[in-house]
Amino acid sequence: MTRLTPSREPQITVFALGGVAEQPEAAYYSRKTNTIVFFNTAYYGQLKSWVLGAVGRVLAEEYGIHSVHGACVEKDGHGILYIAPTGTGKSTSSYGLVGFPNTRFHSDDWVYIRYAFRAKDGRRLHPMSVALPDGMQVRGYRVFRWLESRAQTQPGTTVTGLDLENREITVPVGALDLDAPIEASAFTSEKIFYLRTNLVENFPLSAMQMLHSKMENVPDVSAEYVTRRAPMLDELIETIRTEGGTVTEYFAGRSQQELRQLLARLIAFDNARAMLDISKVLPLDRIFTNPMEPTRLSTVVLLRRDPGDKMVAQRLTLPQFMAALLVGETPDKKREVAYNAYRAVDDDVEKAFIASVEDEARHAGATLTGAGHGQAPGDELYRVFERRSDAPETLREEFELFRVMFRVCDCFGVNTILMADPHVKDRKEAVSLTMEIIARLADERPPALRLTLESYRNFLGAPAPRSA
């Protein structure tokens, strides 16, 4: 598929050990040896994400390829990348956008991004290494900043990289048009998607394939739970019966109570998952069937869910973008650097470094403004991070590639809180309106944007209904 010769020796070694009585459920990672050890792991998502995270370390260090925990949809030929903490609607947003015309589902959980320079002969080159005249080399993620700052003054230097067909090529640095925009191409990592089963709340027809797929963490539900959710479950059942076509054959001969029970299990637990062949859910012309076919990224959306903030959407500056990723939080206020709970890192080292950066930024911000020592301002947080030379390598490589991402793409923050709008009647309408906002962002990519709960409907051209 890639035309590249695989390494004779494994670059990542993984041990998954089950039934070890003296060990708690845990995972351990060594960056030095690129080794992962799992004990008694019952959650496939953790295993998959840690392994892909470890692979991402090698890709960044050796090849300059950006490994991102995110979802991607193509709209009108342009890729939209979602990066989000757990439980903020990443899968819902990517799946929901496919309801718009001229869209294709690309990936749901993990994306590999290559940042390509344009050569003067028209070719695209994702740089992997730079060879200097004195025999020294610059490799991986470090190449981008080197090309930005030094390439013009280094005659005799060559750049080796991949074109978009995965052919390795070497050119003189002078063959690159460093003034031309860099392009970002996103590749999927998955053939089988790992989707939350509660997706059926907003997309009822997905239930049929989920019920025929391997599922994980799908609980049994009590009669009381089914009764309490009966109105919503009956609405889902009716939608499937009226819109599902041949899929409703699965419902034949089943009582309403039995169908309620089946669907209730899909929505009862936020982390219930289905391992789904997306080609059985969407038409082939609405998905990427070839894993080596990229989409060209143009828009990045950082999703979050913070009911205490009335901001619905805004265009992000570089410091805002980087600060949100550096100290990202889930809805229950757990920290997720780069919105990824399984990044294959030394957590203690990273946490200590980030805490010290936040503390320094808080003090600097308070000194500048005369304010108290509250939350670190985003601008100051990123300035401190950039100034510090003691960042762990895992942070340095990842955030250098995020810096390149910001340079290439239009970046927005979206707060999925439209249920807080008193004029929104239910979650389904909230999701639909959020999808409209994201579609508009991707189409227009406004150079300045700041939408609140009071102003977002004007952006959509739909003023809020008058109160009765």
The percent of residues in the chain predicted with pLDDT above 90, rounded, is: 54
Helix (H, G, I), strand (E, B), or coil: what is residue 450? strand
Residue 463 CB coordination number (10 Å): 9
The pLDDT value given to residue 374:
42
Q: Per mean pLDDT, which range of 2-6, 79-83, 428-432 is the poorest? A: 2-6
User: Over 60: is that where the pLDDT of 455 sits?
Assistant: yes
The pLDDT value given to residue 247:
54
Alpha-carbon distance of 71 to 397, in angstroms, equals 21
Give mean pLDDT, residues 394-407: 96
For residue range 270-287, what is the model confidence (pLDDT) as tens digits?
A: 888 888 888 877 888 888
For residue range 145-194, what is the model confidence (pLDDT) as tens digits?
A: 999 887 666 788 999 999 878 889 999 999 999 999 999 999 988 777 88
**215-246 as b/e, with b when 16 or more CB fall inside 10 Å?**
beebeebeeebbeebeebbeebbeebeeebee
The pLDDT value given to residue 451:
96
Q: What is the DSSP letter of 65?
A: P
The pLDDT value given to residue 248:
61
The percent of residues in the chain predicted with pLDDT above 70, rounded, is: 93
Residues comprising the chain, all counted: 468
The pLDDT value given to residue 396:
94
For residue range 40-77, what is the model confidence (pLDDT) as tens digits?
A: 987 787 888 889 889 999 999 999 999 999 999 999 99
Greater pLDDT, 465 or 362:
362
Give mean pLDDT, residues 346-357: 91
User: Over 80: is that where the pLDDT of 343 sits?
Assistant: yes
Average pLDDT, the chain: 87
Give mean pLDDT, residues 359-378: 61
Compute the CA torsion angle 269, 413, 323, 338 (nearest 10 deg).
40
User: Over 70: is that where the pLDDT of 10 sits?
Assistant: yes
User: Over 90: is that where the pLDDT of 217 sits?
Assistant: no
The pLDDT value given to residue 281:
76
Alpha-carbon distance of 355 to 451, in angstroms, equals 30
The pLDDT value given to residue 254:
83
Backbone angles phi, psi at 135, to 5 degrees: 90, -10
The pLDDT value given to residue 426:
87
User: Over 80: is that where the pLDDT of 36 sits?
Assistant: yes
The pLDDT value given to residue 279:
81
For residue range 404-435, what is the model confidence (pLDDT) as tens digits?
A: 999 999 999 999 999 999 999 988 899 899 99
- Map tokens 């979650």 to a residue: 427
Greater pLDDT, 375 or 92:
92
The pLDDT value given to residue 169:
93
Give mean pLDDT, residues 4-33: 87
Listing DSSP states for 389-422 in one string gives: S---HHHHHHHHHHHHHHHHSEEEEEE--GGGST
Alpha-carbon distance of 36 to 420, in angstroms, equals 42
